[in-house]
Structure 1
Amino acid sequence: MKLRTLALLLLVVLVQPTWSLAAQETATASSDNAALTTRLALRDLWVEHVFWVRNFAIANQQGQHKQAEAAAAQVVTNAKAIANSIAPLYGQPAADQLLKLLAGHWDAVKHYSDATVAKDAAGKKAAVAELTGNAKAIAKFLAGANPNLPESALVTMLGAHGGHHVAQIDQLRAGDYTGEASTWSAMREHMLVLADTLSAALVKQFPEKF
């Protein structure tokens, strides 16, 4: 800690009355807790997304239709939770719009998985185009809602996320389980970075809420 900062802190302690210090500490703790709670909640939601998509991809490759259906249902449930997480700050119409975009992302991933199982090269190519277009649409929406989220950076992040899905599905199809394990680790870490980026932007945009 710099000496100047330490001196200022000591001055505050000496001058402020005890009740004022207690109130300030409580406010700071509450702010930190709110921001941390949001960060951890978003991390859980985005990691759940890749977890359930992975479950679907594995079951789809193996022809386990009931398992695939159950995983797909969880992907949808998770997408609703992610979308509704922004409702308190941006309103339900914005949450509904985000849900449509997330549904588009899931549809593209599912199309790619189905095309891979069917050995449909044209279908895979079309699904990648869907993923790319959807990533740009989500980036535009998020950047428009929060000025602390550069659209170009979001396009890169979401594009990389889509690429992880594609690589994972291809590796599962090829039986490259070592490669898929590496991809899973990378996509999980990527989701943590994305969640932290979004939560930091929210805290900066709505300081009064945190």
Structure 2
Amino acid sequence: MKIKLPVVLLLAALCALPSLSPAAQTSSPQAEPAALTTRLALRDLWVEHIFWIRNYAIANQAGNRQAADIASQEVVSNATAIANSIAPLYGQPAAEQLLKLLAGHWGAVKHYSDASVSQSTSGKQTAVNELTGNAKALATFLATANPYLPEATLNTMLAAHGGHHIAQIDELGKKDYKAEAATWKHMREHILGLADALTAALVKQFPDKF
């Protein structure tokens, strides 16, 4: 049975989200310290997200439970940091809601990785469905919180992000490391674009904070 992936890896979707203007991208730290600091911080947090999930997938494929457990703990710690990063602007209840959604994202990816190891086709499809539903929920949450984040575009981007996780896990399982290296490159570019778009939306919504 072939896994049905209801996602399209469209990096072009980045163009539809608010992005930093050329002037903002080249401004000195003295000109926009808060915006620049936020942008770099969010970039670091989201790159850590894909880094630790990749570590989990590698350790899981190798049957290294100790390494997998540590990676899993780091994924959760990172998700907590991402959620808490919005608390100063949206409040702690919003941060807690985001954490639940990020936990759902991680849970779906973990389910897919585990199903891949056990070679469960039905388990993998269930995980894909979980990822798809979670992407929609995340898009709704973020778009509701910030009017400068279009829900439809966010959903496409987050679904594509989930698709990157799936492709990576499949490639690691097949030991197709060349393909996985290419996926990692696209995944990193995509997540940096998402982080930048989130920053730009925050700056637009809270100009007095930046």
- For the residues of structure 1 that align with 2:31 and 2:121, how far apart are their CA atoms? 51
Q: Report the alpha carbon displacement of residue 164 of structure 1 after superposing the two structures with TM.
A: 0.2
Pairs within 5 Å for 1:39-118 = 39-118=39-118
Q: Which amino acid aligns with 2:186?
A: A
Q: Tell me what 1:202 maps to.
A: 202
Shift of 1:30: 5.5
Q: Distance in 2 between matches of 1:165 and 1:192?
A: 15
Distance 2:142 2:209 in 1: 19
Q: In the alignment, residue 60 of structure 1 is paired with which amino acid?
A: N
Partners of 1:75 and 1:30 lie apart in 2 by 33
TM-aligned CA deviation for residue 35 of structure 1? 0.2
Aligned-residue RMSD, C-alpha: 1.0
1:31 Cα deviation after fit: 5.8
Conserved 8 A contact 2:29-2:36: no
Counterpart of 1:120 in structure 2: which amino acid? Answer: S
Shift of 1:76: 0.2
> Is the helix fraction higher in 1 or 2?
1
Q: Deviations over 1:155-201 (max 9, x none)?
A: 01000000000000000000100000000011011110000000000
Structure 2 CA distance for aligned equivalents of residues 205 and 118 of structure 1:
45
Q: Can you list the C-alpha shifts for 1:125-159, whole angstroms capped at 9, x where unaligned?
A: 00000000000000000000000000001001000
SS of corresponding position for 2:32: helix
Deviations 1:10-49, CA, capped at 9 Å, x for gaps: xxxxxxxxxxxxxxxxxx9656010000000000000000
Alignment partners' CA distance in 2, 1:157 and 1:196: 13
Corresponding position of 2:135: 135
Contact 2:56 2:71 in 1 (8 A): yes
Q: Which has the higher contact order (CA 8 A, sep 6+)?
A: 2
Moved beyond 2 Å, runs of 4+: 28-31
- The 3 A distance-change label for structure 1 pair 77 and 29 is closer
Aligned length: 183
SS in 1 for 2:76: helix
Runs of at least 5 residues in structure 2 that lack an aligned partner in the other structure? 1-27
The residue aligned with 2:152 is 152
TM-score by length of 2: 0.86
Q: Cα–Cα, structure 1 residues 29 and 62, in superposed 2: closer, same or farther, change >3 Å?
A: closer
Q: Secondary structure at the match of 1:175?
A: coil
AA paired with 1:130? E
In percent, how many aligned pairs have the same letter?
Answer: 70
Q: Which structure: larger Rg?
A: 1
